[in-house]
Amino acid sequence: MVRRALLSVSDKTGLVEFARRLAALGVEILSTGGTERALSQAGVPVISVGAYTQAPEILGGRVKTLHPRVHGGILYRRGLDTDEADVATRDIPPIDLVVVNLYPFRQAVAAGKPFAECVEEIDIGGPTMVRSAAKNAAHVGVVVDPADYGRVADELEAAKALSDGTRFYLMKKAFAHTAAYDAAISEYLTAREAPAAEPAHFPGTLAAVYEKVQDLRYGENPHQAGAFYRAGQEPEEPTVAFARVLQGKELSYNNLVDLESALACVKEFDEVAAVVIKHNTPCGVSLGQSPADAFARARACDPVSAFGGIVALNRAVDAAAAKELTDLFLECVIAPGYDDEARALLAAKKNLRLLAAPRLAEPRQGWKRRPEEARELRSIPGGLLVMDRDLGAVRREECRVMTKRAPTEQEWRDLLFAWKVVKHVKSNAIVFAQGDRTTAIGGGQTSRVESVKTAVMKAQLPVKGSSVGSDAFFPFADGVEAIIAAGATAIIQPGGSMRDAEVIAAADAAGIAMVATGMRHFRH
C-alpha cells in the first residue's frame, strides 16, 4: 500500500496532475525546493522534507534529502523484524513511492555552460534516493520518467498499491536512468585534463547507454541472435532509430542496416532526391522534379538490383510516388511522411515496411548534433573502435583542377553529385553520374580498376559522357584509363597519389577533366 510519496523532480512535465491524483487517494506527499513550490502554488497538499526531517536544507540546497528519516523510510524492509524495530525506535515512517528525476547536467553541458556550473548540476541526493528506492523495489515504487505517471496513478487508483511486476519494471528503468546520468558525467570529466582545459575530442571513458527497443528475429543470418537498441534521447537529425514504423512486417537486422545506409545517402541532398539501397550500398541515386520522378529515375539506374531493395526519399510520398513504389517489390521505404492517398495505395503491399522520419523535411542546416551523435562505433572482440562520422563535404571552390581542361558547368554538377554518392559506396568506390543521377556504380572490389569494370559491366544506362567520382586516389593510371575507355569525360577524386603526374598525364592525353578534393571517403 502506498501511504507516503516523496516527489522531487527537475522535469516537471505532468507533475501537478500526477500529484493531485496521489493526493486524492490520501497519499501524504513530501517534497523539496522547486517541486514543493510548484505543488503548493497548484494547491496540492505537500509537506516539506525539511519539516519532515526537522533538518532544514543547508549548503544552498546541496543537502536536503540526505537524512536517516528519508533513506530509512525508503530502504527499510517491510516485515523484517530487525528493520521494523529500527524504524519504530527512531520514528521513521515508510516512504512507499519515490518520484525523482535528476538535475539537468546533460542540458547544462549541451548549452556550453562553464565547468563550475556544469559540476553544480551533478545531482547527489536525487540518484541516492532513486538507487535506494530501486534497491528496495520489493516494497517501494520509484518513478524517474513522467511517461510512467499515468500507469502508476491508474494502478494505485485501482488497487491502492503497485504490483510486483510494476515495481520491477520501475526498478529497471531507475537503474538505467542513473547509469546513463553517471555515464554522461564520466564522459564529460574524462575528456578534460584539468577543469579549465579544452576537452579532448574523445573522452577517456566511453560509457554509452542504450535502451533495447526489441529483440530481432535474428541478426545478419538466421544462426545469429540480434537485438535493436537506441539512445535514450532522440537526435535532432532524422534517424532510423527514432523513425515511426507505419506498416509492414517486423524490421530485421539487415533492414535496419540498409535503412541507415539509404537515409545517410539521401541526407546529402537539399534537392528532391531518391536513393535505392541493396545490401548496404546504393544501386541507384537520383534527383527529380518530384518524389515520383526521383524514384523512377533512381530505379532505372539498376532495376535488377533495385528488386527487393530499400528506398529513401527526402520529400513526403504522394499518390504519384506511391504508384511508382508499388510497381516494384521493395522491403522498406523511409520518407518524411505519406499523404492519405499514398497510405491507401501502399497498404495493398501489406508486407512493405513504411517508416516516417519527419525531420527529413527540415533544412539540413537545422540539424544539430550532440558530440555523441557525431561518432561512429564499431565493435571488435574485447574492444570498440570509435571515430567521427563521415560528414565531410566539399564545395566547388574547394576543389583543385588537376588537368589542362577544366570541367564544363554540366560536368561540375555531375562531379559534385557523384562525390556525394561515392561516400556511401563500399571501397574501392566508383560512381558514374550524369544529369543528376547515377548511371553506374561499382564498389567493394579489391582494386579500383575492378570497381570501374564492375560498374561498366552492370550499367543499365549509357555511361558515355558521364562524370566519375572515386572515393580515393588512383595509385596507377590504369583506373583512369579504364574510365576513359568507358567514355566518361570528367573525374573527381581526392588526389595525392605518388603517381599523380602519371594519372594526370593519362587524363590530359584523353582530353578529359579531373579535379582533386583533398578529401578521401573510404567506407570499409
Which residues are catalytically annotated?
Answer: 135, 279
Cβ contacts of 393 within 8 Å, gap of 6 or more: 268, 420
Beta bridge partners of 58: 63
In sign, the C-alpha dihedral spanning 427, 521, 433, 279 is: positive
Whose cell is 570509435? That residue is 386
Q: Which has the closest alpha carbon to 9: 41, 42, 31, 40?
A: 31
Q: Which has the closest alpha carbon to 356: 234, 239, 235, 211?
A: 239
Cβ contacts of 427 within 8 Å, gap of 6 or more: 443, 444, 471, 472, 522, 523, 524
Maximal C-alpha separation, the chain? 97
CA dist., res. 205 & res. 207, Å (int):
6
N-term to C-term CA, the chain: 57
**Helix %, strand %, coil % of the chain (to 5):** 40, 20, 40
Cβ contacts of 231 within 8 Å, gap of 6 or more: 208, 210, 211, 241, 372, 373
CA dist., res. 82 & res. 197, Å (int):
51
Strands 309-313 and 330-335: parallel
CA distance readout (Å), 507 to 68, 212, 249, 361: 81, 52, 50, 41
169 CA to centre of own chain: 25
In sign, the C-alpha dihedral spanning 323, 325, 329, 334 is: negative
Exposed (0-12), middle (13-18) or buried (19+): which is 202, by Cβ within 10 Å? middle
Whether the Cβ atoms of residue 317 and residue 333 lie closer than 8 Å to each other:
yes
DSSP assignment, residue 465? T
Cα angle at 337 between 336 and 341, to 5 degrees? 150
Whether the Cβ atoms of residue 420 and residue 517 lie closer than 8 Å to each other:
no
